[in-house]
């Protein structure tokens, strides 16, 4: 029996001031940009500018000032403040892509710990552009993936209940805490069977300028789901920022680059395709070279000694240091979260060059299943199908590189090895820290590397 499918939905959230701010001027996103743009081009003061604006009918002022956007002054679009959009029932792939594109956004995505893992939580094949003859095989694979997930979750949960020492539960923990830690132990290990096509929800907050860029990028991708999302987002965003959304249509350079990137993924994917678990390999490079006329005089120790935790201020010696770190085998499960660290540049060809299952799961038992999954991927890659990512699972391994500054790298490393971190994050980031210390040994005494303690 075919289960009903839900359609993607985008909801815009209009932000209103709290009661304590009732006496403050109220502006639309584009009027805010207009007023602040004028503010930067006069010495009248904000009050004088607001006196000249009819807040009940702001269009004339907006059109007069925002025309600068059409002449290359895109920074005005960044003055529109945070515009919030909630996107329901998109695939995990599209959520990953949105976070990859929107590097200046704040946002959240549903955790795999809270998503329904069953057949009706998938997009319809036509929503994601699957070839009709591949649909039966894809459906069976997805059904078997969910079945494997649910079977392993139940098994691991029962084992952890019988052997509480496995979950490193804090001494004296209450029964409710023990149950939550046990459930998370099982969920985090079973999740590698979850299809990348599984529906999720996400919310993003960013300026109108960045929304226009994000929607333009989505509209230029070859994937059907991305283009659908672009249309739905544009429809909602036009209600909040109609003028800047004129700049959100697909654009030739975006289309051509997206096609080139996809073409590279097809080539790399076919040559590297594998279902074998890849051993960990981590690569880290640092560069602290400074111009001769502006040398760095602060030591690494002095740059770190004053902060109490990862949220504290880090000195300029670390903020100026460039760091690039990469792994050969990030599973898509971890990629979803590591991709949301916004700084710098992130890159992955998003191919399956291996498959990760934790040691608590018998990989031999699932070899026939993974052989079918790999065969379907190969078929889609050979056809050069843009929908091949919907055959990936969260256990699919792929290379991943992130370039940023040392202070941002250390924040990520402390976060992903600290309290409540997923065990696999901790392994990856611990390895990266070890390589970092080879070139920056002074940092070792000041970095709070955790052990992924349960929470």
Distances (CA, A) of 321 to 51, 110, 314, 409, 445: 47, 33, 12, 10, 18
pLDDT surpassing 60 at residue 299:
yes
Give the domains, in start order, of the chain with CATH numbers: 9-105+199-250 (3.30.1360.170), 112-193 (no CATH), 265-356+395-446 (3.30.1360.170)
- Which pLDDT value is given to residue 64? 60
- pLDDT tens for 419-437 read 878 889 899 999 999 999 9
- Which pLDDT value is given to residue 72? 43
pLDDT surpassing 90 at residue 234:
yes
48 or 217: which carries more pLDDT confidence?
217
pLDDT bracket for residue 39 (50, 70, 90): low
Cβ-contact 85, 237 below 8 angstroms:
yes
Residue range 23-43: average pLDDT?
Answer: 75
Please give the model's pTM, rounded to 2 decimal places.
Answer: 0.89
Query: Could you give the 3-state DSSP secondary structure of residue 376?
Result: helix
- pLDDT tens for 374-387 read 999 999 999 999 99
- Which pLDDT value is given to residue 295? 96
- Which pLDDT value is given to residue 53? 75
Query: Could you give the 3-state DSSP secondary structure of residue 428?
Result: helix
Cβ count near 72 (within 10 Å): 7
- Which pLDDT value is given to residue 103? 85
Residue range 188-207: average pLDDT?
Answer: 93
What is the spatial distance between Cα 157 and Cα 402, in angstroms, rounded to a whole number? 34
């Amino acid at each position: 029996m075919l289960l009903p499918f839900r359609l993607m939905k985008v909801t815009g959230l209009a932000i209103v001031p709290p009661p304590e701010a009732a006496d403050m001027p109220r502006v639309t996103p584009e009027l805010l940009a207009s007023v602040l743009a004028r503010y930067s081009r006069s010495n009248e003061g904000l009050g004088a500018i607001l006196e000249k604006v009819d807040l009940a009918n702001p269009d004339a002022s907006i059109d007069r000032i925002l025309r600068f956007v059409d002449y290359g002054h895109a920074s005005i679009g960044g003055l529109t403040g945070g515009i919030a959009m909630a996107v329901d029932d998109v695939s995990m792939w599209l959520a990953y892509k949105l976070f990859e594109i929107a590097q200046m956004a704040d946002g959240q995505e549903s955790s795999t710990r809270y998503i329904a893992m069953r057949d009706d939580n998938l997009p319809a094949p036509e929503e994601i552009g699957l070839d009709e003859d591949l649909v039966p095989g894809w459906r069976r694979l997805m059904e078997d993936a969910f079945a494997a997930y649910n079977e392993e979750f139940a098994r691991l949960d029962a084992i952890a209940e019988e052997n509480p020492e496995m979950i490193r539960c804090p001494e004296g923990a209450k029964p409710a805490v023990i149950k939550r830690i046990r459930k998370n132990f099982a969920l985090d290990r079973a999740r590698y069977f979850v299809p990348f096509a599984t529906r999720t929800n996400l919310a993003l907050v960013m300026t109108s300028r960045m929304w226009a860029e994000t929607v333009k990028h989505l509209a230029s991708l070859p994937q059907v789901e991305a283009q659908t999302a672009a249309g739905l987002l544009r429809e909602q965003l036009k209600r909040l920022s109609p003028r800047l959304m004129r700049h959100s249509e697909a654009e030739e350079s975006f289309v051509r680059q997206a096609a080139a990137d996809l073409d590279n993924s097809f080539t790399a994917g076919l040559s590297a395709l594998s279902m074998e678990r890849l051993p960990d390999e981590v690569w880290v490079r640092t560069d602290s070279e400074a111009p001769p006329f502006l040398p760095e005089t602060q030591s690494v120790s002095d740059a770190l000694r004053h902060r109490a935790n990862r949220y504290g201020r880090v000195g300029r010696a670390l903020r100026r240091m460039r760091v690039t770190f990469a792994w050969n085998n990030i599973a898509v499960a971890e990629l979803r979260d590591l991709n949301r660290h916004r700084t710098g540049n992130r890159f992955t060809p998003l191919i399956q060059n291996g498959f990760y299952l934790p040691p608590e799961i018998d990989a031999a038992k699932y070899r026939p299943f993974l052989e079918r999954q790999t065969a379907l991927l190969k078929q889609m890659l050979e056809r050069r199908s843009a929908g091949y990512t919907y055959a990936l699972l969260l256990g699919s391994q792929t290379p991943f590189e992130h370039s940023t500054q040392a202070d941002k790298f250390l924040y990520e490393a402390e976060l992903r090895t600290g309290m409540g971190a997923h065990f696999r994050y901790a392994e990856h980031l611990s390895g990266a820290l070890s390589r970092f210390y080879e070139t920056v040994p002074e940092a070792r005494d000041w970095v709070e590397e955790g052990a992924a303690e349960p929470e």
